[in-house]
Chains A and B, each alone.
Chain A
Amino acid sequence: MIKAVMVMNTQGKPRLAKFFDYLPVEKQQELIRRVFGVLCSRPENVSNFIEAELVRLQDSRLVYNHFATLYFVVVFDSSENELAMLDLIQLLGQQTLERCFKNVCELDIVFNYSKIHTILDEIILGGQVLETRSTEIMRAVEEISKLEAATNAISFIPKSASSWLSR
Chain B
Amino acid sequence: MGSQGGFYQSKEFLDLVKSIGEARSKAEEDRIVLNEIETLKRRISEPDIPKRKMKEYIIRLVYIEMLGHDASFGYIHAVKMTHDDSLLVKRTGYLAVTLFLNEDHDLIILIVNTIQKDLKSDNYLVVCAALNAVCKLINEETIPAVLPQVMELLAHPKEAVRKKAIMALHRFYQKSPSSVSHLVSNFRKRLCDNDPGVMGATLCPLFELIARDVNSYKDLVISFVSILKQVAERRLSKAYDYHQMPAPFIQIKLLKILALLGSGDKQASENMYTVVGDIFRKCDSSSNIGNAVLYECICCVSSIYPNPKLLESAADVISRFLKSDSHNLKYMGIDALGRLIKISPEIAEQHQLAVIDCLEDPDDTLKRKTFELLYKMTKSTNVEVIVDRMIDYMISINDNHYKTEIASRCVELAEQFAPSNQWFIQTMNRVFEHAGDLVNIKVAHNLMRLIAEGFGEDDDNADTKLRSSAVESYLRILGEPKLPSVFLQVICWVLGEYGTADGMFSASDITGKLCDVAEAYSNDETVKAYATTALMKIYAFEIAARRKVDMLPECQSLMEELLASHSTDLQQRAYELQAVIGLDAHAVACIMPSDASCEDIEVDRDLSFLNDYIQEAIEKGAQPYIPESERSGMLNISNFRNQDHHEASSHGLRFEAYELPKPAVQSRIPQTLIASTEIVPVPEPMYPRESYQTTMPSIPSDAGSAELKLRLEGVQKKWGRSTYTPATSTSNSTSQKTVNGTSQGDGASTVSSMRETYDSRKPQVEVSHEKQKLAASLFGGSSKTEKSPATGHKAAKASSHVVEKSHVPKSSLEVASEKATPAQQPPDLLDLGEPTATSTALQLDPFKQLEGLLDATEVASAVNGAPAASRSPDIMALYADTAAGIHNKNDADLLSGLSNPSVTNMPGTTAMPQVTQSSSKGPNPKDSLEKDALVRQMGVNPSSQNPNLFKDLLG
List chain A positions with a Cβ less than 8 A from chain B: 1, 13-14, 16-18, 20, 22, 25-26, 28-29, 42-43, 45-51, 53, 79, 81-84, 86-87, 90-91, 100-102, 107-108, 110-115, 117-118, 121, 125-126, 128-133, 135-136, 140, 142-149, 151-152, 155, 158-159, 162-163, 166-167
Contacts and interface: CB of A to CB of B under 8 A. Distances in A.
7 residue pairs, one from A and one from B, having the closest CB atoms:
A145-B6, A83-B292, A47-B327, A46-B363, A22-B102, A126-B135, A149-B6
B52 interface: yes
A166 B125 contact: yes
Interface in B275-299: 288-289, 291-292, 295-296
Contacts of B197: 131, 136
Given A121-B132, A125-B164, A162 B99 contact: no
B362 interface: yes
B338 to A, nearest CB: 14
Given A17-B66, A151-B86, A151-B87, A130 B7 contact: no
Interface string B195-215: 001000100100110010000
A114 B7 contact: yes
A106 B125 CA distance: 28
B292 A87 contact: yes
A49 B365 contact: yes
Given A86-B288, A130-B167, A112 B331 contact: no
B296 A81 contact: yes
B68 A26 contact: yes
B142 to A, nearest CB: 15
Interface in B111-149: 121-123, 125-126, 131-132, 135-136
Given A48-B328, A133-B242, 5 more contacts: A18-B99, A47-B330, A47-B363, A83-B328, A131-B197
Given A131-B197, A166-B123, A148 B87 contact: yes
A86 B328 contact: yes
Contacts of A115: 5, 7
Contacts, number: 203
Contacts of B160: 140
B95 A114 contact: yes
A108 to B, nearest CB: 6
Nearest to A63: B328
A153 B211 CA distance: 50
Contact of A45 (B51, B102, B131, B327): B327
Contact of A163 (B20, B121, B163): B121
A57 B92 CA distance: 31
B3 A108 contact: yes
B125 A155 contact: no
Interface string B1-24: 101111101000110010011000
A145 B5 CA distance: 7
Contacts of B364: 42, 46
Interface stretch (B57-65, B347-355, B750-758): B57-65
B103 interface: yes
Contact of A51 (B136, B211, B365): B365
B331 A144 contact: no
A90 B13 CA distance: 28
A81 B252 contact: yes
Contacts of B330: 47
Nearest to A103: B3
Contacts of B59: 113-114
Interface residues of B, number: 83
B170 interface: yes
A49 B288 CA distance: 14
Nearest to B126: A163
B87 A146 contact: no
7 contacts: A46-B362, A81-B256, A83-B295, A87-B289, A118-B7, A118-B95, A152-B51
Q: Count chain B CB atoms within 10 A of each CB in A16, A46, A115, A167 and give the residue with the most.
A: A46
B91 A148 contact: yes
A84 B289 contact: yes
Contact of B6 (A26, A46, A144): A144
A111 B171 contact: no
A152 B292 contact: no
A148 B295 contact: no
Contact of B167 (A17, A42, A84, A126): A126
Nearest to B103: A22
B891 to A, nearest CB: 53
Contacts of A167: 122-123
A43 B363 contact: yes
A157 to B, nearest CB: 9
B62 A113 contact: yes
A47 B85 contact: no
A126 B171 contact: yes
Nearest to B240: A133
B88 A152 contact: yes
A158 B86 CA distance: 9
Nearest to A48: B328
A47 B207 contact: no
B288 A90 contact: yes
A126 B166 CA distance: 10
A128 B52 CA distance: 32
B950 interface: no
A136 B239 contact: yes
B132 A148 contact: no
B820 interface: no
Chain B CB count within 10 A is highest, among A50, A81, A91, A102, for A81
B1 A145 contact: yes
A136 B201 CA distance: 15
Contacts of A86: 288, 292, 328
B335 to A, nearest CB: 8
